Structure 1
């Protein structure tokens, strides 16, 4: 058992300080939470030179995206129910599923109780809350629409998480097929072929070329794996060096967008993220130039990002959004047309969200079609590969049996 000193907040927002006996710091934290205390500083009393109050609970580099989605959804529902902000944070804190999320909410609560605006408190946690997230919350605070803005943010984050989850789920079965095919290759090359090779040597029949290749692979597999690893490391290093130069990275991203199928898919994905983020920020009341600049930050393609930067400069000079985008960026035609209609009708924020929804549905349909074709293609490919390895061996074995029978 060790002694730990803590500083914490109670459920009523009161400050508490003291010591606690526990087997570990994690056990001490759990014990404090069970007592209704929310520790924001916790450390062992070791008598060393390091002050215990300098040892804050670490978030481990930031919460997971799932934690951020959960926090935004729960907090937005509580704010929409007209619950006071500090009470809403306490409720989210008590219902948090992970320790990291409880620590995050506790830090936000401490800053809010000290009189700091929620957006400023979130800005201090920059590893958790992105800049566009903070900008939307700040706009909601200034316009008195924090609850509705948080609902919009929750829908935005949930939509992003849903797309990621669908892609990951769609890749599970093909990944299993690839793993099983690799296991099959290892069994054939490492077990079946070496056990059958002596049959040919004892009968005086030449070993088939296919078996000779597989026997060579089995004997030199360490060198082959080492060479493949060296190629991967070398290729990765060369790619990282190439990507480090902004101009080269921008040109490469532009080439990727011109690829026949992949380019159109990536363009739809980037456009959907940009329009949904921009629509959410405009709904929150963020000015157009600031919202466009923040929304361009979610675009990963450097070629598109450079075009958006030029479009922002045109908007600052008085150009309409749809004209600036049409002249500087290559976006899907449906997106440009709907943005133009929304801007002329004074409903740009709603139209941007609708554009994002349409593109996300197209992306999902493309993923479904691709995965529907990929699974049988992998199955047939694996069957052909295994058959190509087995058939020459089986033919040679059958020929040896025919000779023995004669």
Structure 2
């Protein structure tokens, strides 16, 4: 029977790890629950040993795993421990990076800070997470909120990994293409171009273009121009960061496929945060403002803030969403239904799931098509270069015969 390595917590908060025999992962989880354990992670024994070895090698340089951190806190709080007791349990049984996070939060809690303030002190964390934790404090549903945050972070991590994995091969092709062009430009072209110049004939167009590119790249002032442009761009970004970010965001949203994917995922996350805040008892205007401030698309924020002002003036949420001109008609209709039945949190959560699934579906299709499209484009470029070089070689042969 297969063995599985697990990491779990007792009801007292003490961590326990080991191996268990079971037919599959589901059976292993069931056996651990019957033993009174709150499972944090479980893997096949060989995979777990591999990751343990890898972790021991890199743990000193690793960043904290916020998804596991929040998941462990939720498990411990659901087992009956308080927030500070859960932090102590996580601190005593986690990796060094996570232990530093837990110890820092414990220090703030001991100084009288709230859990949301302690969470807000963490680096590289989405700004809506402290607001969600604050809503969990106010509603008494902090364990549920922490588990929701952990699930969302795991989903984002999986999406980023999928994008990176799908982009590795196209990026490698692109790198090899650039290397091939540079070799042709700086090695082959300088050997071919003088033959045409000596014969008084113009070289093929591709050879002329590559010769011009080589002259630009070899010019002494080229590096200075690139360096100056970079410094000017960095200075403009530092001085007008928000304005430039808004312009870049607006440009991204106009792109045919990328804009649609970004819009669906960003609005889905906005609606998910809004739903969770409303479900935890936060007032409508406060929830709208917090969700708008945390929107990942900068160009959306003015329209979302406009919706906040409209709702504050007495406009229904569905009408405010319609006037923002950001949400699809299906989402606006769902919000109107939620207003009618007085069940907005559930309806908004369903709308968030719908948008995120649409965005994820488009993203999966784009990633699937990206490799063959880039391969075809790069193949066409390589083919044109080969044809150009062969044409040049044949022209040189004609010149030698003359």
What is the TM-score with the length of structure 2 in the denominator?
A: 0.71
Please say if residues 166 and 371 of structure 2, whose CA atoms lie closer than 8 Å, have aligned partners that are also in contact.
Answer: no
Please say if residues 149 and 283 of structure 1, whose CA atoms lie closer than 8 Å, have aligned partners that are also in contact.
Answer: no
**1:298-354 alpha-carbon deviations (Å, 9 max, x no partner):** 224444322222221222233322122223343112221222223323332222222
Q: Structure 1 residues 365-374 or 184-193, which shifts more?
A: 365-374
How far apart, CA to CA, are the structure 1 residues paired with 2:253 and 2:157?
24
SS of 1:371's equivalent? helix
Aligned to 1:133: 129
**Does 1:376 find its partner at 2:372?**
yes
Matches within 5 A, 1:195-214: 195-197=191-193, 204=199, 206=201, 208-209=203-204, 210-214=206-210
Matches within 5 A, 1:323-362: 323-362=319-358
Instruction: Please tell me the root mean square deviation across aligned C-alpha atoms, in Å.
Output: 3.6
**Aligned with 1:73 (options 71, 74, 98):** 71
Q: How far 1:220 sits from its partner (Å)?
A: 4.2
Q: 1:403 to 1:289 in 2, by over 3 A?
A: closer
Aligned to 1:32: none
Please say if residues 273 and 298 of structure 1, whose CA atoms lie closer than 8 Å, have aligned partners that are also in contact.
Answer: no
Please say if residues 272 and 360 of structure 1, whose CA atoms lie closer than 8 Å, have aligned partners that are also in contact.
Answer: yes
Aligned to 2:19: none
Structure 2 unaligned runs (5+)? 1-12, 14-61
**1:12-61 alpha-carbon deviations (Å, 9 max, x no partner):** 9xxxxxxxxxxxxxxxxxxxxxxxxxxxxxxxxxxxxxxxxxxxxxxxxx
Aligned to 1:118: 115
**1:340-381 alpha-carbon deviations (Å, 9 max, x no partner):** 223323332222222222212211222233333332232222
Q: How far 1:237 sits from its partner (Å)?
A: 5.7
Please say if residues 76 and 148 of structure 1, whose CA atoms lie closer than 8 Å, have aligned partners that are also in contact.
Answer: yes
Please say if residues 69 and 158 of structure 1, whose CA atoms lie closer than 8 Å, have aligned partners that are also in contact.
Answer: yes
Q: Structure 1 residues 350-359 or 256-265, which shifts more?
A: 256-265
Aligned to 1:170: 166
Please say if residues 193 and 203 of structure 2, whose CA atoms lie closer than 8 Å, have aligned partners that are also in contact.
Answer: no
**1:115-174 alpha-carbon deviations (Å, 9 max, x no partner):** 543234334x16465553223223322332221121122223333333333333332222
How far apart, CA to CA, are the structure 2 residues paired with 1:245 and 1:149?
30
Please say if residues 93 and 106 of structure 1, whose CA atoms lie closer than 8 Å, have aligned partners that are also in contact.
Answer: yes
How far apart, CA to CA, are the structure 1 residues paired with 2:90 and 2:218?
53
Aligned to 1:306: 302
How far apart, CA to CA, are the structure 2 residues paired with 1:241 and 1:130?
21
Q: 1:278 to 1:228 in 2, by over 3 A?
A: farther
Please say if residues 242 and 249 of structure 1, whose CA atoms lie closer than 8 Å, have aligned partners that are also in contact.
Answer: no
Matches within 5 A, 1:23-38: none
Q: How far 1:399 sits from its partner (Å)?
A: 4.9
SS of 2:65's equivalent? helix
SS of 1:171's equivalent? helix
**Does 1:107 find its partner at 2:90?**
no
Q: 1:253 to 1:140 in 2, by over 3 A?
A: closer
Aligned to 1:187: 183
**Does 1:290 find its partner at 2:290?**
no
How far apart, CA to CA, are the structure 2 residues paired with 1:75 and 1:326?
39
Q: 1:87 to 1:214 in 2, by over 3 A?
A: same
Aligned to 2:267: 271
Higher CA-based Rg: 1
Q: Structure 1 residues 107-116 or 178-187, which shifts more?
A: 107-116
Please say if residues 267 and 332 of structure 1, whose CA atoms lie closer than 8 Å, have aligned partners that are also in contact.
Answer: no
Q: Structure 1 residues 379-388 or 368-377, which shifts more?
A: 368-377
Aligned to 1:217: 213
Q: How far 1:76 sits from its partner (Å)?
A: 1.3
**1:188-238 alpha-carbon deviations (Å, 9 max, x no partner):** 112233344566678x58462333443443344233853772685388369
How far apart, CA to CA, are the structure 2 residues paired with 1:242 and 1:343?
43
